[in-house]
Amino acid sequence: MPPFALLAVLLAFSAAAYHLGRRRAFALAGAGGRAQRLHSRPNYHGALVALWCGLPAILLFALWLAFESQVITRIVVEGLPEPQRSLPGDRLSLIVNDIRNVAGGRFEEAAADPAVREAAATYRRLLGLSRQALAVVTLSLAAAMALLVRRRLRPALRARNHVEGILTAMLVACSTIAVFTTVGIVLSVVYEAILFHGEALQGLRSIRCVSPAGMVADVAAAPRPERWIAGPLRRRWLADPLALDSAFQMASLWSWEMTGAVALPAAAASLRLYRETWPAEGCRVVLEVREAAERKLRGDFIFLDRGGQTIAQLCGFEAVIDPSLNRAFKAGGIRAAPLGAAQAPERAEAQSGSRS
């Protein structure tokens, strides 16, 4: 069953549950429908049954669809031949995209590699089984919850209080989602309008506060070294490069906010590590501004885990503040070079940009 059709059926189930709960309330009121014997009006009893019928099933429906593609893709990738399964992450992603395109009919199947065709057939089969299981599980859950709550209706039940509590919790949840969505939009605008970093280096997750004394922000963690480097010397980072680069981005944003001009990192005196590993979930970075002159920014960074414990400290950070960098930052962004390519042209561009 397609997801939209299943969602429509769930809404129909909720409407039916409302009428079942309302009729049950009238039956509890006694002969003649004396609703004054009930603590809450029959409409609240019906709404309570409808909410418990629809909300758990819709929540399961949303979570299922959110993780369905990831689970199916992982199963399909594990079934690929070893030469393809052991490819680097970027090349494996291309194969996965081909599999999804063939499975969805967006790519001619006859022109695809035999292994891709076989994987696409597996993807379609698993997707069909997943959609059938989703329909059975969600509809069964909706029917079971409706019958269970209907049986628990009593004349003294505070149905109105329960309904208002559920609606309040829904409003709070929606407000929280709206706040995080707004934060994501703001950060995306920051990267589009101020900073030049590509998607892989957009490590800022949320900005906690900004003041003349500095900035506090939550940043993401870098993927494993083999995702960014061909044949890395180590299997883990000694210092998280994305966290460090995000700290430098914070300094540029702070400069933009306070002076109207971005800042280009120039130097750092020392980096002290207090742990052997960095948290996989990211960290919180505190920028303490020591000096902000017309053309120069100096400060320190402190990296903290979720428990507030210090991970690392970068001292003696210096950056150049220059209004001409505003144009240079947005001139074209970072262009990824092939692995092993000479980096001299990129360094020359960076040097010429800093002199402009």
At 197-227, the pLDDT tens digits run: 777 888 888 888 888 889 999 999 998 888 8
172's tokens: 């709070």
Domain assignment present for 181: no
What are 197's two structure tokens? 């970093």
Let me know whether 157 and 8 are in one domain: yes
Predicted confidence (pLDDT) per residue in 180-198, tens digit:
666 555 556 566 556 667 7
For residue 31, what pLDDT is reported?
A: 47
Q: What is the pLDDT of residue 194?
A: 62
Shared-domain flag, residues 311 and 230? yes
Per-residue pLDDT for 348 more than 70?
no
Given 124, 144, 175, the domain boundary residue is: 175
For residue 257, tell me if it sits in a domain: yes
Q: What residues make up the domain containing 315?
A: 194-331+351-355
Both 67 and 204 in one domain: the answer is no
Residue 49 lies in a domain: yes
Would you say residue 116 lies in a domain?
yes
Whether 76 and 167 map to the same domain: the answer is: yes
Q: Is the pLDDT of residue 29 over 60?
A: yes
Alpha-carbon gap, residue 288 to 316, rounded angstroms: 11
How much is the pLDDT for 62?
Answer: 92
Alpha-carbon distance 324 to 271, whole Å? 29
165 and 314: one domain?
no
pLDDT digits (tens, 9 = 90+) for 259-271: 888 888 999 999 9
pLDDT for 311: 93
């995306």: which residue's tokens?
A: 188
* 153 found inside a domain: yes
Domain count across the chain: 2
C-alpha distances in Å from residue 120, one per residue of 100, 133, 215: 7, 20, 48
**Mean pLDDT, range 334-346, rounded to an integer:** 40
Residue 188 in domain: no
Q: Would you tell me how many other CB atoms lie within 10 Å of the CB of residue 36?
A: 8
pLDDT for 142 equals: 93
User: 0.85 exceeded by the pTM?
Assistant: no
Q: In the beta sheet, which residues pair with residue 211? A: 214
In this structure, are 263 and 224 located in the same domain? yes
Percentage of residues in the chain having pLDDT higher than 70: 84
Residues 126 and 201 in one domain: no
Q: What is the model's pLDDT at position 349? A: 42
> Domain holding 282: CATH number?
3.10.129.120
Containing 64, the helix (H) or strand (E) segment is helix 42-78
- The H-or-E segment that residue 100 falls in is helix 89-103
The upper half-sphere exposure of residue 79, i.e. CA atoms within 13 Å in the direction of its Cβ, equals 18
Q: Are residues 22 and 166 in the same domain?
A: yes
Confidence of residue 154 (pLDDT cuts 50, 70, 90): confident
Residue 26 within a domain: yes
Q: What's the pLDDT tens digit per position in 83-102?
A: 877 777 667 777 888 888 88
The DSSP secondary-structure symbol of 229 reads: S
Asked if residue 169 and residue 20 are part of one domain, the reply reads: yes
- Same domain for 199 and 171, yes or no, is no
Band (344; pLDDT cuts 50, 70, 90): very low
Classify residue 81: in a domain, yes or no: yes
- Three-state SS at 267: strand
